[in-house]
Amino acid sequence: MPIIVISYRRQDSNDIARRIYEELKANYGEKSVYIDIESIQPSADYRVHIRQTLERALVMLAVIGTEWRGVRADGSVRILGPNDPVRDEVETMLANRRAVMPVLVNGAVMPTDTEIPESLRPFRYLHAIAVRSDENFSADIKRLFRAIDALTAKFWTLYVAAYLLLPFVLALLCHYLLLFKFDVDPLYLRIAIAVISAALGIGLCF
- What is the Cα gyration radius of the chain? 22
- 46-50, 61-65, 178-182, 183-187: range with highest mean pLDDT: 61-65
Q: Are 105 and 65 in contact (CB under 8 A)?
A: yes
14-44 per-position pLDDT tens digit: 999 999 999 999 999 988 998 875 556 666 6
Provide the 10 A C-beta neighbour count for residue 111: 16
**How far is the CA of 194 from the CAs of 96, 174, 176, 185, in angstroms?**
33, 10, 14, 14
pLDDT the model gives residue 2:
59
Provide the 10 A C-beta neighbour count for residue 176: 10
Mean pLDDT (the chain) is 85
Q: Are 92 and 51 in contact (CB under 8 A)?
A: yes
Q: Report DSSP state, residue 112.
A: P
**pLDDT above 80 (res 160):** no
Nearest Cα neighbor of 19 from 128, 107, 106, 149 is 106
pLDDT the model gives residue 56:
80
pLDDT band at 13 (very low <50, low <70, confident <90, very high): very high
Element (H, E) at 198: helix 186-205
Tell me the torsion sign for CA atoms 155, 156, 160, 163: positive
If one compares 156 and 18, the residue with the highest pLDDT of the two is 18
If one compares 206 and 147, the residue with the highest pLDDT of the two is 147
